[in-house]
Amino acid sequence: MHVLVLGGTTEARSLAEALHARPGLRVTSSLAGRVAAPRLPPGEVRIGGFGGADGMARWLGEHAVSAVIDATHPFAETISFNAAGAAATAHVPLLALRRPGWVPGEGDDWREVASLAEAARAVPDTGRRVFLTTGRMGLATFAHIDDAFFLVRSVDAPEPPGPPHMELLLDRGPFTLDGEREILARHRIDVLVTKDSGGAATAPKLTAAREAAVPVIVVRRPPAPGGVPVAATVAEAADWVQALSGAASG
Ligand code: NAP
């Protein structure tokens, strides 16, 4: 059985590890190629776009793929819709591995917005010292804000333009609560901006913000394709593959 894991997340890597350990399974992980030095999962790895849903459908056929798991980031909207289209065209079963979104708790001061642009509009009314953790891709959306300081954390350096008053923190999760507390205090952060990525690896910033009474602008998730079964954990996704391979061999 040949399983294609659409990756770029911690969960995708863990899933590739779990599946790679199982005899009789061939696992290929697909990465977009956005990160200069990605942490590579075990098994085969392909890097770069497929050329839309049609390109992916062709790839599935040419490589005799028997199942696809879309374990991409909840904000990677295009690839998820492409996977749904490609799997339908190629008649290959598809599962989405999607971590649940974060939920505010007692003491949280969250302002939910629908987009990065809306987050940028909300910044001036919320704070002047911003911890921006939405990744390097949308930085230009904040470039016009010249009366606030931005601490921008991303895996690779963003392309300009960015806000005029900014400091770059190159790092990738998982992050610790102590580390996040220290960042908020050292930079006197008074607003955190995040996507609702979900998952444990980047959640400590939310706890640190709650403790420090720092408001959080949370960008809600984009829509996901309908009709695709969803697993919330790596174990659930691995079980889905197991059930398929059992059905194929039985
Ligand atoms: P996107 O907007 O959904 O996808 C744009 C295009 O990039 C897709 O049409 C596809 O090109 C290619 N692509 C995306 N993911 C791919 C994959 N895993 N393998 C092969 N091609 C892929 O994606 P994005 O938001 O730029 O995210 C890119 C990657 O970074 C994803 O793999 C995602 O898991 C990871 N990531 C994204 C975020 C985020 O906030 N968006 C955060 C952390 C990690 P073709 O049409 O040519 O196939």
Which domain CATH number covers 8?
Answer: 3.40.50.720
**Domains of the chain: total:** 2
Ligand 1 centroid from CA 221, angstroms: 15
Residues 131 and 203 occupy one common structural domain: yes
Q: Is 31 in the pocket of ligand 1 (CB under 6 A)?
A: yes
Report d(CA 42, CA 17) in Å as an integer.
6
Residues 125 and 191 occupy one common structural domain: yes
Q: What is the pLDDT of residue 245?
A: 86
Full residue range of the structural domain in which residue 63 is found: 2-100+223-249
Residues 35 and 134 occupy one common structural domain: no
Q: What is the pLDDT of residue 94?
A: 98
Ligand 1 pocket test, candidate residues 35, 63, 65, 79, most atoms within 8 A of CB:
79
Q: Is 9 in the pocket of ligand 1 (CB under 6 A)?
A: yes
* Average pLDDT per consecutive 10 residues, the chain (250 residues; last block may be shorter): 96 96 95 92 97 98 98 97 98 97 97 98 98 95 98 96 98 96 98 96 97 98 97 97 82
Residue 48 lies in a domain: yes
Q: Which atom of ligand 1 is nearest to the CA of 56?
A: 48
Residues 51 and 122 occupy one common structural domain: no
Residues 175 and 227 occupy one common structural domain: no
Residues 161 and 196 occupy one common structural domain: yes
Ligand 1 atom 22: the closest Cα is on which residue? Answer: 32
Structure tokens at 136: 């390097």
Q: Is 242 in the pocket of ligand 1 (CB under 6 A)?
A: no
Q: What confidence tens digit (pLDDT) does each residue in 185-196 have? A: 999 999 999 999
Residues 118 and 193 occupy one common structural domain: yes
Residues 215 and 238 occupy one common structural domain: no
Q: Within the chain, how many helices (H) and strands (E) appear? A: 7, 12
Residues 164 and 204 occupy one common structural domain: yes
Q: What is the pLDDT of residue 219?
A: 98
Q: What is the pLDDT of residue 188?
A: 98
Residue 105 lies in a domain: no
Ligand 1 pocket test, candidate residues 5, 35, 58, 72, most atoms within 8 A of CB:
72
Residues 85 and 138 occupy one common structural domain: no
Report d(CA 182, CA 74) in Å as an integer.
28
CATH number of the domain enclosing 173: 3.40.50
Q: What is the pLDDT of residue 249?
A: 67
Alpha-carbon distance values, 21 to 14, 60, 98, 137, 163 (Å): 11, 22, 22, 34, 45
Residues 210 and 232 occupy one common structural domain: no
